[in-house]
Amino acid sequence: MAQKTRKGVELLLSEEENEEYAATAIARQKTRGKFEPKIGKMLYSFGRYELLHRATMPINENYYLLMTLDVEERNFDSIIIDEILPVITKSRSRFVTTDDLV
């Protein structure tokens, strides 16, 4: 797990809590996989909380990007679809799975 925070931002969760949140978000995503044949692959999931917005985006089967957005941000879909997902698609080959190493 890697984490980067914008300068001046006060984190709401401790590092341990953030790791736990990430693990549960990824577990939720993996349970949705059984529906992919009928509804397609998930591009991203989005949680709107009172104090923050969180998006989970699969990079591949083993890696996910979890991103927090300011609650004031209303243009999250455009940011994710137009700016973040193209970077993930372009950089996907840089993420190596353990299966690739065997």
CATH (domain of 49): 3.30.505
Tokens at residue 25, please?
Answer: 């978000």
101 belongs to a structural domain = no
Rounded to whole angstroms, the Cα distance separating 63 from 17 reads 19
Q: What is the pLDDT of residues 8-66, one digit of tens each?
A: 778 888 889 988 988 998 888 888 888 889 999 989 999 999 998 999 999 988 888 99
Q: Which domain holds residue 51?
A: 15-93
Tokens at residue 38, please?
Answer: 């009928």
64 belongs to a structural domain = yes
7 belongs to a structural domain = no
Q: How many domains does the chain have?
A: 1
37 belongs to a structural domain = yes
Say what the pTM is: 0.77
1 belongs to a structural domain = no
Higher pLDDT, 33 or 85: 85
Buried b (16+ CB within 10 A) or exposed e, 28-59: ebeeeeeeeeeeeeeebbeeeeeeebbbbbbe
